[in-house]
Structure 1
């Protein structure tokens, strides 16, 4: 069928986990709701600490702030619809809403990748060029780079949405996924997908592999620089300063690389397993990241304890006053 505005599909149906038995839908929605709640609380805490504690106004924490905002927006763009699917048996999503969700899924994923690139750049300068760090990465510089990442990331997702939206969708409207993404939608088009799949592939290479290449390069340089430090304690201290960032980067990239490599060496997953893996690497890091910031980041941990002590000390004072 020629391309054009010939779609007979007016809405899509998101299957979620196709093999999940009906009796487990309540449990699935409860788990997903818990994940979303923890994501909101964790990332909201990071935003609150940054807003109330000026000691966190450093380049590294500006980067973490951007990552928290991105994680909050990504979870909000995807999880409520998945939860309603299982909670209210509401798997349908309108034609336009599906493309809007697709845009935000790919846009926020791209922003996340660029922010991780900035995170690796920060650690690279701090360890490999410590004398230049304060000159190159000022708060104003990191703000400009962060805004640039959010703006530049718009181009690729907008392009693939604009190209996919006018395609004729006239057959099945069932998307075997928990949310709308480019592959899931364009597989349903009544036309040759190859030209659209290629442009999406190029976009993915630029958005994911480009930053990943620099991240690998930067951490190789970091390891070499750390090994040159004669003092063992100095080595450990240098490694500990980038361990938090390395954990966060690994949570984002390793599962994606595993899925990509597995598909290319002939390892095939059934639909449910594929969706579970995608959901895990998409929705778990936004929940886990704040815990890593607060437990591994010294300044963030101090700020959290300070806020906690502020609230417990007045309560103790009130109790003692009542007793007296």
Structure 2
């Protein structure tokens, strides 16, 4: 690895959606801005509900709290720059800022994966070991595990950035993506990418498939337990307690697994289609998660309803 940064590149250019016609730039920026506003509004609402309702201070909602924080940070890391790309024709990003964005993209993705792991663990203990649930999963336990997830994700992602930063970038500075990521940046390096790309790929697979393996194990175990319940109503009630988490996990993992599997079986996507798919699985779950919580989680739904009932309009109606 070369000592220091000998690059002739001082900034990168994010193309966004490479084949998008200029006449649609305003529409795309408006849609992305709406997605960002909805994501912030929904997840900030979750934070406020958690802060103002002690009834939500339970292990499952501590996990949801961490997921909302992660979704807010990820959207804030990625969306403002690509919105300005189409709104203000400002697609350039400084060399250092691109690597900072890359770090947070991969760091928050790893945290998200670990939080979903905790979500599956919560449901596994609740369904498969219900009598031990209050002992195993206390609020303090979830807080410690959540903090551990945020801390553990830092070092490995930081090392990926540190190894990529000093590479000689002396060719193209155009990144065919909506944000800076490891592949998009290192593919522009004027050197053999394999020594840097392969370890990053292995870590990405470990961060994605490690939690996914436990998630699949936990829900297979849950299904086995549910099938042993003789009462059909009891089965439905037990499954309903897992439905919220299962939808959220599916939104996060299914598109990612599809992209990885498609690339391995030789299914090719155009540059535009690939960026669209990546943006969908990156930005759609953070926007939809709060809606899923409020519609599917009973305590969250009741807390939101209480907040609406306390509004001045409702008080006047009652009077």
Query: TM class by shorter-chain length?
Result: over 0.9
**Aligned residue pairs: how many?**
318
Give per-residue Cα distances to partners, 1:8-40, cap 9 Å, x unaligned.
000000000010000000000000000000000
Aligned to 1:91: 91
Aligned twin of 1:263:
263
- Number of the residue aligned with 1:293: 293
The DSSP-based 3-state class of the residue aligned with 2:245 is helix
**Residue 127 of structure 2 aligns with which residue?**
127
- 1:3: how far off? 6.8
1:247-262 matched pairs, under 5 angstroms? 247-262=247-262
Deviation at 1:313, TM superposition (A): 3.0
1:278 is matched with which residue? 278
Measured against aligned partners, the alpha-carbon deviations of 1:219-249 in whole angstroms (never above 9, x if no partner) come to 0000000000001000000000000000000
Q: C-alpha separation between the residues in 2 aligned to 1:159 and 1:31?
A: 35
Q: 1:116 matched to which residue of 2?
A: 116
Question: Alpha carbon RMSD of aligned pairs, Å?
Answer: 1.1
TM-score by length of 2: 0.98
Question: Which residue does 1:313 correspond to in 2?
Answer: 314
8 Å contact from structure 1 (residues 295, 301) kept in 2: yes
Q: Indicate conservation of the 8 Å contact 1:59/1:139, yes or no.
A: yes
Separation (CA, whole Å) in 2 of partners of 1:191 and 1:75 = 32
Q: Which ranges of structure 2 fall in alignment gaps of 5 or more residues? A: none
Could you tell me whether the CA contact under 8 Å between 2:2 and 2:166 is conserved in 1?
Answer: no
Q: 1: CA distance between counterparts of 2:246 and 2:108?
A: 20
Distance across 2 between alignment mates of 1:191 and 1:3: 14
TM-score, scaled relative to structure 1: 0.97
**1:100-142 C-alpha deviation (Å, 9 max, x unpaired):** 0000000000000000000000000000000010000000000
Task: Report what 1:79 is aligned to.
Answer: 79
Please give the secondary structure, in 2, of the residue aligned with 1:172: coil
Report if the CA contact (8 A) 1:50-1:56 is conserved: yes
User: Is contact 1:2-1:191 (8 Å) kept?
Assistant: no
The structural deviation recorded for 1:4 is: 4.9
